[in-house]
Homo-oligomer: A and B are copies of this chain.
């Protein structure tokens, strides 16, 4: 019986691994470093070895493994290739599914990491039971993953759900990492929030606890707002308002069952949802105004859950 599966979340620094029952129960998770030397040519062998070691330790045979699902920080084609991935040192196309499958002896499926995290939340997280959802990952940047009919919306060239680069400001003069100007990522990501806060503090004379923190973070801004700092509250209101406006646009396109907010910034908690709701309500189409917006729950495990979800999908 093929009762077990591996979920793999391959990042530029570490690779998270999870052993699951195919029912969705996480039995064990661990990490290995991502070795980017020699153009990342050791990465897949290292993963295969880690999985083999775990199977040996647990006395599992290849016949008991349904397969592995892996998320990578880049676009994955429908036939399982990664088109260049600088974060992993891969400068050429990599047939990741075929290659890792050959090394492991069981089937492997691959998908973009933001998409696979969305699938993880849809399968076993805050979206359990939902057939459609949008997951927005508020980290250093803003990533997104879209699930429709229980499946990842990959997009015609792997850019489905790249909602961090939705344009929200015509007056922006600084350039976003993507090359455009005025992307939501410039305002509501961790770096965007700090940028907005610095701008705000420069044009506002009021006292604020943020002025005494040399290199404050997005978390500092939320903490100050929660502690009653008026200026920080105004900053949070502004960035969350922009986020709510962006979420309304996405919801007006897709009409999903729910929207989930994940990533480091979302650890600020309910304040984000409360502060984004007015703009969301104002701009969502009437049939979508009651769309649930919740916090993701799987945290850093969303990717390994999604890997196994992909395998079973």
For A167-202 the 0/1 string (1 means CB < 8 A from B) is 100000000001111100000000000000000000
- Among A26-34, A44-52, A60-68, A250-258, the one that faces the other chain is A250-258
Are the C-beta atoms of B159 and A287 separated by less than 8 Å? Answer: yes
A285 at the interface (CB under 8 A from B): yes
Within 8 A of B (CB), among A123-151: 131-132, 146, 148-149, 151
Among residues of B, the one whose C-beta sits closest to the C-beta of A246 is: B249
Contact between A255 and B287, CB atoms less than 8 A apart: no
A103 on the B face (CB < 8 A): no
Q: Interface residue tally of chain A, by bracket?
A: 35 or more
Q: Is the CB of B158 within 8 A of A287?
A: yes
Q: Which residues of chain B are near A162, meaning CB under 8 Å?
A: 252, 255, 285, 287-288
- Number of copies of this chain in the oligomer? 2
Would you call B158 and A255 a contact (CB within 8 A)?
Answer: yes
Residue in B closest to A179 when the chains form the complex, CB atoms: B286
A144 to chain B, nearest CB (A): 8
* A153-B148, A157-B287, A165-B285 given; A253·B255 CB < 8 A: no
Q: Which residue of B lies closest to A75 (CB)?
A: B287
User: Hey, which chain B residues are within 8 Å of A159, CB to CB?
Assistant: 252, 255, 285, 287-288
User: Which residues from B are CB-within-8-Å of A21?
Assistant: none
Task: Establish whether residues A252 and B283, one from each chain, have CB atoms under 8 Å apart when the complex forms.
Answer: no
Judging by beta carbons under 8 Å apart, are A252 and B157 in contact? no
In the assembled complex, the CB of A163 is this many whole angstroms from the nearest CB of chain B, namely: 6
Q: Is B287 in contact with A252, judged by CB distance below 8 angstroms? A: no
A256 with B156, Cβ < 8 A, contacts A167-B245, A180-B285 known: yes
- 10 A–B contacts from the bound complex (CB under 8 Å): A146-B253, A149-B151, A154-B255, A155-B254, A155-B255, A155-B256, A157-B287, A158-B255, A159-B255, A162-B285
